[in-house]
């Protein structure tokens, strides 16, 4: 009965109700749209970070602390196989990739420049480097003397896809070594200074070039990035039991920029929530105050027939909650339409750590909609408290005398 009466009172003055619902719906839609964008931005950055570092990374602790001297922190072949075997037994693992980096010179008779080479397991999902813009073809196991150069590095050398180029570096033991590779692709990187020096090669080629069977890191891919901490803990326990002296880091620990972005977006979302709360509160409080106080005679009559102050107060709060709930639902519907239009426009952005512009595809979920719904309902309830309290405290005698 109270719900039916409150719903009837909500639409008693339709002009005011429409204005209140409009403010609430717009606030809800804007807040929901912001949260959907923030969620998509963080997801894109997570995938981009994990693409390069793996969900979990295994290496000598000196590598993680940047204290390795030359190649003295490589993981031997026998330890590699033990680690890969332990990792493969963990649930949710997609696969592993070996990585071995080197620094040297790249060029031909016309000149040379510095290269930072990265050897990795070809045709592997960890990392798959789809977060980079690669022209040409990717690396293949069957062609160990192939490489992918950064676009700026290739332009600096004046070479293109299909050209051969010489690489010179020092082996693990300190001797000079050189090899010729064919450029099969070019990649774009988010940092221009890195793109001017970066080259990707099959890890077996780099191992032969450096005269070693070791690797610097073992990268692990996961189906669910959120489970990286659990996998890291499980691997640390397994390594301790097997006597494997290696450290483990998650992608969150390796991607310090993501934590900064997460903090920024959390503050941004919080500010948006506060702004929407203030917008709804100050826009609705005046309307509800006028609307409630215009019903002085109605309240006095109700009180005269035995209604308690609490019942009157509760009734007005219920009306405010209904306005907030109805406006919030309309706002969710409005936000769904905005998201549909936004996705159809296929607006792109380049996440930090990526060089490929990605289409921003926003999605609305129940968990995303929950915070805007709660925010606007609480704001409407808060704006109802004062006029509801004031009406509930009316003196019945004085109110009836004004009738």
Res 1: pLDDT:
54
> Which positions ≥6 away from 366 have C-beta within 8 Å?
none
- Cβ atoms within 10 Å, residue 93: 18
Band of the pLDDT at 145, cuts 50, 70, 90?
Answer: confident
Res 214: pLDDT:
93
- Taking the C-alpha atoms of residue 220 and residue 255, their distance in angstroms, rounded to an integer, is 15
- Residue-wise burial string across 50-84, b where 16 or more C-beta atoms lie within 10 A, e elsewhere: bbbbbbbbbbbeebbeeebeebebbbeeebbebbe
122 φ/ψ sector (left φ>0, alpha ψ -120 to 50, else beta): beta
| Mean of per-residue pLDDT scores for the chain | 82
Band of the pLDDT at 212, cuts 50, 70, 90?
Answer: very high
pLDDT surpasses 80 at 29 = yes
pLDDT surpasses 60 at 342 = yes
Q: Which two tokens stand for residue 289?
A: 């105050």
Is the Cβ–Cβ distance between 349 and 40 less than 8 Å? no
- Using alpha carbons only, how large is the chain's radius of gyration in Å? 32
- Tell me the sheet residues that pair with 373: none
Res 215: pLDDT:
94
Res 358: pLDDT:
66
Mean pLDDT of 136-153: 81
> Which positions ≥6 away from 196 have C-beta within 8 Å?
113, 150, 152, 153, 156
Mean pLDDT of 136-144: 72
- Residue-wise burial string across 3-18, b where 16 or more C-beta atoms lie within 10 A, e elsewhere: eeebeebbeeeeebbe
Mean pLDDT of 348-356: 61
Res 17: pLDDT:
77
Band of the pLDDT at 10, cuts 50, 70, 90?
Answer: low
Res 79: pLDDT:
93
Band of the pLDDT at 324, cuts 50, 70, 90?
Answer: confident
Q: What confidence tens digit (pLDDT) does each residue in 262-314 have?
A: 888 888 888 888 998 998 888 888 777 776 666 666 666 666 666 676 776 77
Res 350: pLDDT:
67
Band of the pLDDT at 167, cuts 50, 70, 90?
Answer: very high
Q: What confidence tens digit (pLDDT) does each residue in 75-129 have?
A: 999 999 999 999 989 998 888 889 999 999 998 877 889 999 998 887 555 555 5
- Tell me the sheet residues that pair with 206: none
Mean pLDDT of 155-179: 91
pLDDT surpasses 70 at 396 = no
Band of the pLDDT at 246, cuts 50, 70, 90?
Answer: very high
Question: Which segment, 30-44, 232-246, 352-366, 379-393, is predicted with the most confidence on average?
Answer: 232-246
Q: What confidence tens digit (pLDDT) does each residue in 46-71 have?
A: 777 777 788 899 999 999 888 888 88
Res 2: pLDDT:
56
How is the chain split into domains, by residue range?
A: 2-49+258-401, 61-245
């Amino acid at each position: 009965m109270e719900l039916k009466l409150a719903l009837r009172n909500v639409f008693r003055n339709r002009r005011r109700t429409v204005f209140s619902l409009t403010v609430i719906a717009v606030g809800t839609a804007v807040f929901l749209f912001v949260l959907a964008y923030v969620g998509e931005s963080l997801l894109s950055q997570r995938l981009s970070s994990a693409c390069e570092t793996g969900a979990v990374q295994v290496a000598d602790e000196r590598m993680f602390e940047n204290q390795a001297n030359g190649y003295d922190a490589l993981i031997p072949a026998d330890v590699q196989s033990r680690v890969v075997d332990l990792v493969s037994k963990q649930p949710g693992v997609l696969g592993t990739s070996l990585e071995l980096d080197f620094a040297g010179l790249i060029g031909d008779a016309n000149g040379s420049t510095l290269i930072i080479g990265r050897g990795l397991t070809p045709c592997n999902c960890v990392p798959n480097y789809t977060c980079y813009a690669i022209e040409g073809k990717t690396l293949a196991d069957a062609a160990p003397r192939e490489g992918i150069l950064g676009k700026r590095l290739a332009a600096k050398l004046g070479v293109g896809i299909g050209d051969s180029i010489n690489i010179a570096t020092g082996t693990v033991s300190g001797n000079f070594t050189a090899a010729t590779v064919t450029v099969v692709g070019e990649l774009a990187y988010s940092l221009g200074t890195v793109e001017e020096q970066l080259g990707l090669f099959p890890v077996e080629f780099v191992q032969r070039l450096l005269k070693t069977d070791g690797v610097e890191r073992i990268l692990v891919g996961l189906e669910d990035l959120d489970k990286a901490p659990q996998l890291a803990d499980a691997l640390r326990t397994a390594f301790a039991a097997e006597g494997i002296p290696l450290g483990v880091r998650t992608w969150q620990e390796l991607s310090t920029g993501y934590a900064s972005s997460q903090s920024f977006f959390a503050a941004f979302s919080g500010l948006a929530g506060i702004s929407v709360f203030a917008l709804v509160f100050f826009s609705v409080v005046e309307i509800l105050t006028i609307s409630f106080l215009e019903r002085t005679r109605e309240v006095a009559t109700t009180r005269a027939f035995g209604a308690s102050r609490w019942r009157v107060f509760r009734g007005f709060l219920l009306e405010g909650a209904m306005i907030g709930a109805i406006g919030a639902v309309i706002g969710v519907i409005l936000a769904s339409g905005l998201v549909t239009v936004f996705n159809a426009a296929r607006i792109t952005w380049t996440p930090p750590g990526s060089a490929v512009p990605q289409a921003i595809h926003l999605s609305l979920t129940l968990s995303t909609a929950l915070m805007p719904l709660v925010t606007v309902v609480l704001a409407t309830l808060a704006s109802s408290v004062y006029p509801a309290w004031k009406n509930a405290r009316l003196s019945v005698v004085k109110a009836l005398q004004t009738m």
